[in-house]
Amino acid sequence: EPEVTQTPSHQVTQMGQEVILRCVPISNHLYFYWYRQILGQKVEFLVSFYNNEISEKSEIFDDQFSVERPDGSNFTLKIRSTKLEDSAMYFCASSAGTDVSPLHFGNGTRLTVT
């Protein structure tokens, strides 16, 4: 079964550094998402992306965050200047459509900001 893959599985960075989290969605999917889960808290929606633009974003997704689909296969989340509170598990997901098409999640990237 096709999978969403995320790299790296664990990223450690210093506060103020830029990080890029990478995802390869399922190949025929058109909608892409990032969610995150801070340790001990709920999984939260960050952003959805379709047709090369953001279709929706949460309050969390401020100017420090950006997403990009640089080529036909990758989908990236960039955090420009990381803060301690950005430490979390970041999940990428993709779907063939909205509504009745389920999300397929990757295994996540654990980001640790020191």
Partner 1 sequence: AQSVTQPDIHITVSEGASLELRCNYSYGATPYLFWYVQSPGQGLQLLLKYFSGDTLVQGIKGFEAEFKRSQSSFNLRKPSVHWSDAAEYFCAVAPRAAGNKLTFGGGTRVLVKP
Q: How far is the CB of 13 from partner 1 (least distance, A)?
A: 21
Q: Is the dihedral of CA 72, 106, 9, 20 positive or negative?
A: positive
Residue nearer to partner 1 on the CB measure, 55 or 81: 55
Q: Pairing between strand 10-13 and 109-113?
A: parallel
Which residue intervals of 5-109 are DSSP H helices?
Answer: none
Contact set for partner 1, span 72-111 (CB under 8 A): 91, 93, 95, 98-108
Contact set for partner 1, span 37-66 (CB under 8 A): 41-45, 48, 56
> Which parts of the chain are beta strand (E)?
5-7, 10-13, 19-24, 31-37, 43-50, 53-57, 65-68, 75-79, 88-95, 104-105, 109-113
DSSP label at residue 71:
S
Residue nearer to partner 1 on the CB measure, 55 or 114: 55
**Interface with partner 1: number of residues (CB under 8 A):** 26
How far apart, in whole angstroms, are the C-alpha atoms of residue 53 and residue 12?
28
Binding mask of the shown chain, residues 1 to 40, with x at each position contacting partner 1 by CB under 8 A: ---x-x------------------------x-x-x-----
Residue nearer to partner 1 on the CB measure, 6 or 82: 6
Residues that bind partner 1 (CB under 8 A): 4, 6, 31, 33, 35, 41-45, 48, 56, 91, 93, 95, 98-108
